[in-house]
Amino acid sequence: MSGDGPGRQDPARGDRRAADRRSRRSGTEPVTARSALGLRLLLSAVFLPVFVALTVLFALWAADAGPGESPDRGMLVAFTVVCALVALLAAVDLLVVLRRRGRARHGA
C-alpha cells in the first residue's frame, strides 16, 4: 500500500480542502469583512467575572433563604443555575476567541 490514495493525507501539506472552504467566499459579504473577535473578547472578559460573582451571590442567598421568604429558595437556585450557565458560555467563548486569535497571529 503506497499511502497516496484519496483517503490518505500528507501531514506536512495539511488539509487544503478545509482551508479552501474557509477562505472561499460563500455569499454577499464584503471582500474586506472582518470577524468581531475583539468585541467578543471584550464582552467575554467583562461578563465572565460578573456572572461568576452573580452565581456565588445567588448561591449564598439561596443557602440562607428560609421557608416563606420572597424570593423563595427554588427561584434563587434557578437564578444561580442560569448565571452559572451564562458564565460557562462566556468562559467557553473566551477560550475560542483566544484560540482563534492565536491561530491568526501565527498564520495557521
Q: What is the pLDDT of residues 48-106, one digit of tens each?
A: 999 999 999 999 999 999 888 889 999 999 999 999 999 999 999 999 999 988 887 88
Rounded-to-integer distance, Cα 61 and Cα 65, Å: 6
**DSSP per residue, 35-76:** --HHHHHHHHHHHHHHHHHHHHHHHHHHHHPPTT-SS-HHHH
Q: What is the pLDDT of residues 56-72, one digit of tens each?
A: 999 999 999 988 888 99
Side chain identity at residue 94, one-letter code: L
Q: Which residues contact 65 (CB under 8 A, 6 or more apart)?
A: 71, 72, 73, 76
Q: Provide the whole-model pTM.
A: 0.67
Cell (9 digits) for 90: 462566556
